[in-house]
């Protein structure tokens, strides 16, 4: 296994919030990371409803208004941050693809081989 | 039946401040009451989803609450009231607005249109062999030009039974089919509008019912590109485009919005009259667009290789 790569600092994600990570060549986030206390769940930034569609509506704006779910703003699909399952919307029952991350010493780490191929950073 | 097109779309959201910021950044004018206006007065209205003044929500998670259709005159309103009262309750507000549900279960309303007639210049281009579109010394590329949506162009619904829905708008409200995607739904225009479509529908499972996108007409392709580029620069999420559709010929650029619906800029849509014969094609990427681009960061080639004078 290759050495883990630092993706961001834990304190760069507001508790309960989400940020986009691992930009592609055009600066678009390929991974979305949600923080719940000291735990971070990370997901491929692609909606299971339609290929090519990214979650959110603006840079680092991924959560619904109540802050309970990740949202695909194209058609309003909501995803549980913990398991990535779509609980309402077009792809109900489908799940986001997990990107395995760990938090060590306040840094969010991912395995390079597990990160999207199109990510350049 | 002199229906013109959608006058106002009403949403109930849990992302109120983000939605307002989006609509302002998209180029609509905030009138301070939750209503965001195009240049002609057509609008999108957003309210908190628990606002008691909102029409009831759909049984799905879609945030659309009401589609308000604009008509030419009182005679048309009377005609609609008489027609729809045959088989449903049609409520009439103090200002004469009619409200009811369509056959797909969407909340709809009809009122004498609030849109004002626009008298604005088109996008002007110079084309060899044709008279110049712009006078000598008149510049075409103005990065600081305003790019404001002119008028609410069209709406697209996700609907569980497109045939039931299309029948309602065609038979009861006298919409006309311009083109159709096989087994998906038709492109429709009402009697008092010659745009290729103001209404389109896509068949989906019932749990998806709602609005898929809405679109505003821009001045032309250049203004559409300018407005969309500004949205990208502000960090907004492009959903599809820019490109040019086949049916309708309109240029398009769609953005995801905090209302959970795509919002499109469109420009240069075809016009039709009664002499038109509808076309039909399967819905596919090939048939959905003539070409598709994606925005990239600005770049320019230089002369010598990097590091050489």
Query: Please, which pLDDT band fits residue B184 given cuts at 50, 70 and 90?
Result: confident
Question: What is the average pLDDT across B253-267?
Answer: 98
Q: pLDDT tens digits, residue range B203-248?
A: 999 999 999 999 999 999 999 999 999 999 999 999 999 999 999 9
Q: Residues of A with CB below 8 A from B60's CB?
A: 88
For residue B262, pLDDT over 90 is answered with yes
Q: Where are the domains of chain B?
A: 3-116+148-292
Nearest to A77 by CA among A90, A93, A61, A66: A90
Of A27, A57, A92, the CB nearest to B257: A57
What's the gap in Å between the CA of A41 and the closest CA on chain B? 22
- For B296, name the nearest residue in chain A, comparing CA atoms only: A26
Q: pLDDT tens digits, residue range B22-36?
A: 999 999 999 999 999
* Omega within 30 of 0 (cis) for the link into A52: no
Cβ-defined contact of B237 to A54 (cutoff 8 Å): yes
Of B61, B235, B295, the CB nearest to A76: B61
Supply the DSSP string of B256-297, one letter for each residue.
E-TTSSEEEEEE---B--TT---EEE---HHHH-SEE-----
Instruction: Report the share of chain B in percent with pLDDT over 70.
Output: 100
Q: What phi and psi values does residue B168 have, to the nearest 5 degrees?
A: -60, -50
How many whole angstroms separate alpha carbon A74 and alpha carbon A68? 18
For residue A1, pLDDT over 80 is answered with no
How many whole angstroms separate alpha carbon B101 and alpha carbon B210? 13
Q: How many residues does chain B have?
A: 309
Q: pLDDT tens digits, residue range B100-125?
A: 999 999 999 999 999 999 999 999 99
Give the count of beta carbons closer than 10 Å to the beta carbon of residue B90: 17
Of B271 and B184, more confident: B271
How many whole angstroms separate alpha carbon B182 and alpha carbon B203? 11
pLDDT at position B142 is 95
Residues of chain B whose beta carbon is less than 8 angstroms from a beta carbon of chain A are 13-16, 18, 22, 60-63, 158, 204, 207-208, 210, 212, 234-237, 239, 255-262, 294-297
Radius of gyration of chain A (CA): 13
Question: Average pLDDT, whole number, for chain B?
Answer: 97
Strand pairing class (B291-292; B238-244): antiparallel
Question: What is the average pLDDT across A57-80?
Answer: 96
Query: Please, which pLDDT band fits residue B167 given cuts at 50, 70 and 90?
Result: very high
Superfamily of domain B3-116+148-292: 2,3-Dihydroxybiphenyl 1,2-Dioxygenase, domain 1 (3.10.180.10)
| A44, two tokens | 């491929």
Question: What is the average pLDDT across B139-155?
Answer: 97
Cβ-defined contact of B256 to A57 (cutoff 8 Å): yes
- B246: Cβ contacts below 8 Å, ≥ 6 apart: B281, B287, B288, B289, B290
Residue A77: C-alpha distances to residues A58, A60, B45, B92, B256 (Å): 16, 17, 21, 35, 12
Cβ-defined contact of A73 to B14 (cutoff 8 Å): no
Query: Please, which pLDDT band fits residue B126 given cuts at 50, 70 and 90?
Result: very high
Q: For chain A, which domains are there?
A: 13-100 (2.102.10.10)
């Amino acid at each position: 296994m290759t050495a883990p790569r630092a993706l961001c600092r834990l304190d760069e994600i507001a508790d309960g919030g989400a940020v986009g990570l691992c930009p592609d060549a055009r600066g678009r986030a390929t991974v979305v990371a949600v923080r719940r206390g000291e735990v971070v769940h990370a997901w491929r930034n692609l909606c299971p409803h339609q290929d090519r569609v990214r979650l959110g509506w603006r840079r680092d704006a991924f959560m619904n208004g109540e802050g309970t779910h990740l949202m695909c703003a194209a058609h309003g699909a909501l995803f549980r941050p913990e398991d990535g399952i779509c609980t309402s919307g077009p792809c109900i029952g489908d799940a986001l693809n997990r990107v395995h991350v760990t938090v060590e010493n306040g840094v969010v780490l991912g395995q390079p081989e597990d990160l999207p191929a199109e990510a350049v950073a | 039946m002199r229906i013109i097109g959608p006058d106002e779309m009403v949403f109930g959201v849990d992302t109120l401040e983000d939605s307002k910021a989006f609509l302002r950044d998209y180029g609509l004018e905030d009138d301070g009451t939750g209503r965001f206006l195009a240049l002609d007065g057509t609008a999108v209205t957003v309210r908190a989803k628990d606002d008691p003044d909102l029409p009831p929500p759909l049984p799905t998670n879609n945030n659309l609450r009401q589609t308000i259709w604009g008509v030419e005159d009182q005679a048309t309103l009377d005609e609609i009231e008489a027609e729809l009262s045959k088989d449903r309750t049609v409520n009439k507000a103090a200002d004469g607005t009619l409200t009811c549900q369509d056959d797909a279960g969407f909340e709809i309303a009809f009122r004498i249109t609030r849109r004002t007639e626009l008298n604005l210049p088109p996008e002007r281009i110079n084309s060899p062999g044709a008279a110049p579109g712009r006078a000598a010394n008149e510049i075409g590329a103005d990065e600081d030009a305003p790019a404001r949506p002119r008028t609410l162009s069209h709406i697209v619904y996700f609907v569980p039974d497109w045939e039931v829905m299309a029948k309602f708008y065609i038979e009861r409200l006298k919409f006309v089919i311009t083109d159709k995607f096989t087994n998906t739904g038709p492109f429709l225009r009402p009697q008092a509008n010659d745009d290729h479509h103001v209404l389109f529908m896509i068949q989906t499972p019932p749990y998806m019912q709602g609005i898929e996108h809405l679109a505003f007409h821009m001045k032309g392709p250049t203004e559409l590109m300018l407005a969309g580029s500004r949205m990208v620069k502000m960090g907004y999420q492009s959903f599809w485009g820019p490109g040019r559709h086949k049916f309708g010929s309109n240029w398009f650029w769609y953005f995801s919005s905090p209302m959970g619906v795509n919002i499109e800029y469109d420009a240069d849509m075809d016009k039709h009259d009664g002499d038109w014969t509808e076309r039909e094609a399967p819905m596919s990427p090939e048939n959905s667009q003539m070409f598709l681009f994606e925005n990239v960061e600005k770049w320019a080639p230089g002369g010598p290789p990097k590091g050489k004078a």
